Amino acid sequence: MSKIRVVHYINQFFAGIGGEEKADVKPEVREGVVGPGMALKGAFKDEAEIVATVICGDSYFNENIEEAKAAIIDMVKKYDPDLFIAGPAFNAGRYGVACGAISKAVKETFDIPVVTAMYPENPGSDMFKKDLYIIKTGNSAAKMRKAIPALAKFALKIGKGEEIQAPNVEGYIPRGVRKNIFREERGSERAVDMLVKKLKGEEFVTEYPMPDFDNVTPGKAIQDISKAKVAIVTSGGIVPKGNPDHIESSSASKYGKYDIADFSDLTAETHETAHGGYDPVYANEDADRVLPVDVLRDLEKEGKIGELHRYFYTTTGNGTSVGNSKKYAAEYAKELVADGVDAVILTST
């Protein structure tokens, strides 16, 4: 029996090219195994071989999605693979989005099995879990030793065309697909059994898991807004001209804090957006459309608010993970409280 031919996709970091400073590397292809592909090769034993590895910088892919996909599709075509694997991406947001996007493109173009792997909170998971199988991993590359065997095992199974079982059996992130199955006990009996276990404090597994939404307790109402210090925070990516801190256009790994004490109006000469998830033309023409400094200055002069805080905080919400978003907010919320801010206006796109 011939080996399953595999093309593997990885980013610039796992290819050993470099970190963030090399994230703009354009797509390239190398014969055989590179980086984590070595561990995959060992897990495959003699059942599959990685015939080529495609590499692309995370920033380049996310900022040039259509061009990157087209170039990579041409590279994959030359090797006529039976199976395509991307990652693992863990909790690296831009990498996860790239793995999902290119896996979906390969699947649609060549009609071959594809699989990737990432942390459930990676934005790539939400974006692509309905389109393809995504093996669940830990949140960092420190979990590589556990991720690779799971990815390899599933890849071989899908590559052989074997029947795929439920997510809890196979280890992939639930896709929202439900199938009718037959059980010996009827539903009412199973429901009562789960209820009894719940009342006893025993473990049980629901047959219909519900979405887990955060509940945010509203802040206390501002008693006198005319005396309040108001700050602006945005996920719309508004930054000083030139994006001095290089906040990513997608799956941001950082946020910025910038002084607006001397600004009554944001112009095309002073500010722009770094966001890659919407048409930037109007925001670049007048950043006040996303970050309303001009209006708040008017309110400040009219005495309708106490004052506008001298700093604003910004990042790009496009594909940024929930985990990172919470981390950013926790950090700058402490600063806002310490600076005596009474209210925050959070703007999006």
| Mean local confidence (pLDDT), 164-189 | 87
Predicted local distance difference test score (pLDDT) of residue 134: 97
Angle of CA points 269, 271, 275, to nearest 5°: 135
Q: What is the DSSP letter of 161?
A: T
| Mean local confidence (pLDDT), 118-127 | 89
Encode pLDDT of 125-176 as tens digits: 988 999 999 999 998 888 999 999 999 999 999 999 999 988 888 999 998 8
255 neighbors 315 (Cβ within 8 angstroms) = yes
Given pLDDT bands bounded at 50, 70 and 90, which one contains residue 322?
confident
Q: How far is CA 282 from CA 4, 136, 314, in A?
A: 49, 39, 18
Encode pLDDT of 14-39 as tens digits: 999 998 889 899 999 999 999 999 99
Given pLDDT bands bounded at 50, 70 and 90, which one contains residue 1?
low
Q: Calculate the CA 251 to chain-centre distance.
A: 5
Say if residue 251's pLDDT is above 80: no
Instruction: Look at residue 9 and give its three-state secondary structure.
Output: strand
Q: Which domains does the chain have, with CATH numbers?
A: 4-170 (3.40.50.2000), 225-347 (no CATH)
